[in-house]
Structure 1
Amino acid sequence: MHSIFISGAAQGIGAAIATLFYQHGYKVGIYDINVVQAQKLAQHLGTNAKAGLLDVCHYEQWQQALNEFQAWAGEINILVNNAGILYSGAFEQTDIAAHQRTFNINVNGVVNGCHAALPFLRQASFARVINLSSASAIYGQPDLVSYSASKFAVRGITEGLDIEWQKYGIRVLDVMPLFVQTAMVKEMDAGSIQNMGVHLTAEDVAQTIYARVQAKDSMFTKTHEPVGLKTKIMFNLSKVSPQFVNRISTMFLATRK
Structure 2
Amino acid sequence: MSRLAGKTALITGAARGQGAAAARRVVDEGGRVMITDVAEAEGKELAASLGEAAAFTRLDVTSEQGWQEAVLATVEHFGGLDVLVNNAGMLMFRELEHTTLGEYEQIVSINQVGTFLGMRSVIGPMERSGGGSIVNLSSVEGLAGMPQVAAYTASKFAIRGMTKVAALELGSKGIRVNSVHPGLIDTGMIGDAMGSAEVDLAPAGNLVALGRIGEPAEIAALVAFLASDDSSYCTGSEFVADGGSTAAHSLNRPRYGVRSG
Q: Give your verdict on TM over 0.5.
A: yes
**Aligned residue number for residue 207 of structure 1:** 221
Aligned-partner residue type, residue 168 of structure 2: I
Taking only aligned residues, the RMSD between alpha carbons, in angstroms, comes to 2.3
Q: Contact conserved, 1:194 with 1:256, CA < 8 A, in 2? A: no
Q: Contact conserved, 2:131 with 2:173, CA < 8 A, in 1? A: no
Distance 1:253 1:24 in 2: 42
**Aligned residue number for residue 169 of structure 2:** 164
Displacement, 1:213?
A: 2.2
TM-score by length of 1: 0.86
Q: Contact conserved, 1:142 with 1:254, CA < 8 A, in 2? A: no
Aligned residues: 240
Displacement, 1:250?
A: 8.2
Q: Contact conserved, 2:183 with 2:243, CA < 8 A, in 1? A: no
Kindly indicate whether residue 63 of structure 2 is the aligned counterpart of residue 62 of structure 1: no
Kindly indicate whether residue 108 of structure 2 is the aligned counterpart of residue 103 of structure 1: yes
**Aligned residue number for residue 237 of structure 1:** none
Distance 2:49 2:11 in 1: 16
SS of residue matched to 1:47: helix
Displacement, 1:13?
A: 0.4
Q: For residues 167-197 of structure 1, what are the alpha-carbon distances to aligned partners after superposition, in whole Å with 9 as ceiling and x for unaligned?
A: 10111001100111112112767xxx79743
Displacement, 1:140?
A: 2.3
Where does structure 1 lack aligned partners over 5 or more consecutive residues? 235-245
TM-aligned CA distance change 1:29 to 1:95, over 3 Å: same
Kindly indicate whether residue 140 of structure 2 is the aligned counterpart of residue 135 of structure 1: yes
**Aligned residue number for residue 241 of structure 2:** 227
Q: Show the 5 A alignment for 1:50-89.
A: 50-89=55-94
Moved more, 163-172 or 85-94: 85-94
Aligned-partner residue type, residue 252 of structure 1: R
Where does structure 2 lack aligned partners over 5 or more consecutive residues? 1-5, 195-200, 206-211
TM-aligned CA distance change 1:125 to 1:169, over 3 Å: closer
Displacement, 1:61?
A: 0.5
TM-aligned CA distance change 1:109 to 1:100, over 3 Å: same
Distance 1:223 1:90 in 2: 30
Aligned-partner residue type, residue 122 of structure 1: E
Q: Contact conserved, 1:135 with 1:178, CA < 8 A, in 2? A: yes
TM-score by length of 2: 0.85
SS of residue matched to 1:64: helix
Aligned-partner residue type, residue 243 of structure 2: L
Relative to its length, the structure with more helix (as a share) is 1
Residue 29 (structure 2) aligned to one of 18, 24, 27? 24
Q: For residues 128-148 of structure 1, what are the alpha-carbon distances to aligned partners after superposition, in whole Å with 9 as ceiling and x for unaligned?
A: 000001000112222111101
Residue 217 (structure 1) aligned to one of 215, 224, 232? 232
Q: Contact conserved, 1:87 with 1:147, CA < 8 A, in 2? A: yes
SS of residue matched to 1:186: helix
Q: Contact conserved, 1:159 with 1:223, CA < 8 A, in 2? A: yes
Q: Contact conserved, 1:141 with 1:250, CA < 8 A, in 2? A: no
Q: Contact conserved, 2:94 with 2:148, CA < 8 A, in 1? A: yes
Displacement, 1:96?
A: 3.0
Distance 1:89 1:7 in 2: 25
Distance 2:137 2:154 in 1: 13
Quote the sequence identity (%): 28
